[in-house]
Amino acid sequence: MKHILSALVLNKPGVLAHVAGMFAARAFNIDSLAVGRTDDPTLSRMTIVVVGDDRVVEQVRKQLAKLVSIVKVQDFAGQDMVARDLMLISIACPAEKRPEILALVEMFQAKVVDIGSKFVMVEVSGPENKVEAFIEACRQYGIKNMVRTGTVAMARQTQARTEGIADNSK
């Protein structure tokens, strides 16, 4: 089962390597990892998707919380949250297929971000299953290139809970 963890980390060199090293040393696999600055320039947020049962994910969460550079760790399991992936995909697009592909883009509420005589580049964002469905729909045309961010997630503020959060800021 996929679990989404959010780690608030110090925004300094080596933190990503330290976190990745912890995963590697314990033979935990990372399904996706997204990192970005927060509104506080001293902190970044890592969104880590881990596949495993509850016991494995709890062990990962506890190991993360022990790292000095980690301020907070949150497991979104059982929480009301919003999770999104972002993808740029370049699709082979000969002139005769262009209306068909543009209709597909519209159907998925995606956005054309670049266009050429033989390709179209599309930005798709949404839940992972939407991104995966768009990829499958595009295979018949030919995928030239693709890049994805991995999952980012936030708990809904109206339902945010603090249980399962380790806080190393004290």
14-48 in b/e form (b: 16+ CB < 10 A) is ebeeebeebbeeeebebebbbbeeeeeeebbbbbb
98: which residues sit within 8 A by CB, 6+ positions away?
120
Please give the average per-residue pLDDT across 148-166, as a whole number.
72
The 10s digit of each residue's pLDDT in 89-110 is 999 999 999 999 999 999 999 9
Do 22 and 51 belong to one domain?
yes
Confidence category of residue 169, pLDDT binned at 50, 70, 90: very low
**Residues 76 and 86 reside in one and the same domain:** no
Interval 132-161 mean pLDDT? 89
Whether residues 13 and 69 fall in one domain: yes
pLDDT reported for residue 167? 52
* Domain extent for 100: 82-152
pLDDT in tens, 5-63: 999 999 999 999 999 998 888 888 899 999 999 999 999 999 999 988 888 888 888 88
Entry pTM: 0.81
Total domains present in the chain? 2
Residues 111 and 125 reside in one and the same domain = yes
**Backbone CA torsion sign across 100, 148, 4, 31:** positive
Burial class for 123, CB neighbours closer than 10 Å (0-12, 13-18, 19+): middle
Give yes or no: residues 36 and 9 share one domain.
yes
pLDDT one-digit tens code per residue, 80-92: 999 999 999 999 9
Asked if the model's pLDDT at residue 168 lies above 70, the reply is no
pLDDT of residue 162 exceeding 60: no
Between β-strands 43-51 and 152-155, what pairing exists: parallel, antiparallel or unpaired? unpaired
- Mean pLDDT across 63-78: 90
104 vs 136: CA distance, rounded Å: 11
